[in-house]
Amino acid sequence: MIKDRPAMVNYLYDLVERIGNCTYATLHLEYLEKYVDIHFVQWLVWLFTPIIIVFVFPFVLFILFFLSALFVRAYRYRYRLREAYNRDVWDGARNTLATAWDALGWLWHGYEIVGLENIPESKEGGALIVFYHGAIPIDYYYILAKAILIKKRCIRSVGDHFLFKIPGWNLLMDVCHVFSGSFQLCVQYLKEGHLVALAPGGVLEAQFGDEDYRLVWGKRIGFAKVAIEAQVPIIPVFTQNLREAFRSVKTGRRWLRKVYEKTRLPVVPIYGGFPVKMRTYVGTPIPYDPNITPEELAKKTAEAIEKMILTYQRLPGSIFKALTDRVYEKPKLKNI
């Protein structure tokens, strides 16, 4: 005990020392030291901590979703049940969540959106927004936040079936207008003048896409049929460095692909959470053409997004260079 220290500080030091001695004796660490090199263990912890962190970040993102869902539930109980289904009441919840996610995008990714004017105003009717699906579509959450805060429009989006099986998420899905995506429902919303967003690649593209940014659409043309039936334009969207923020593990993909085909569940591990520069580009709308076939429209949409990738994305993607984009970015990226 040191006399120069205040009595309370001496007490705390003494308490910590007693706890340490008690823990040492209780866990019998003196025996552990005989068989384990403590310094080697500390080195292993130091070595693997970065690896552990990049796999923990996706779980942190899911925690943020659960917090969002918890907020929505608390918001519902804040008002009476009848009031909870009033449009203005839920607008307040959506604006609160949009503000939080917009702040997260600005802080963590220096997020920007270019071409927001290509998304029509509410009086201009509906449109189908088609975007590239990252390992985690975090860019879409930022796009939705911008649409709510700036355009004053909430985008209805098509979500995979597994999202509705996650406990506690159903109310959040309802408030954010996420639906399972039947053909009839998509057409109905578009004809009613709403914005609908979807990623043709879906979970397949999320899990098995890579830093080369190749579209994993296969022969999926359902979105084109929807746009033609509803007689609305298609708006192509791409986000720069999306695959550098979160990536899916490449090891064992053949086996995991077989598991996915049987279960239709996201089985590929995801890592990341890197604070890379992210910028969304909203392309020029592809107008409705009564003479075009679904196959031709799907191809035209894919070509529009591929052109955006070649124009705005460094290929193959680099996490390190995407991080440096936060500080300095060349006027025009070159595909290297």
User: How confident is the model over 234-281, as pLDDT tens digits?
Assistant: 999 999 999 999 999 988 888 999 999 898 888 999 988 899 999 999
pLDDT > 60? residue 23: no
Half-sphere exposure of 154 (CA within 13 A, CB side): 19
**What residues contact residue 35 under an 8 Å CB cut-off, 6+ apart?**
none
pLDDT interval class at 26 (50, 70, 90): low
| Separation between Cα atoms, residue 144 and residue 153, nearest integer Å | 9
Catalytic residues: 133
| Separation between Cα atoms, residue 305 and residue 148, nearest integer Å | 24
Please return the burial class of 23, using the count of CB atoms within 10 Å of its CB with bins 0-12, 13-18 and 19+: exposed
**Are 94 and 72 contacting, i.e. CB atoms less than 8 angstroms apart?**
no
pLDDT > 50? residue 81: no
Least confident of 47-61, 174-188, 194-208, 313-327: 47-61
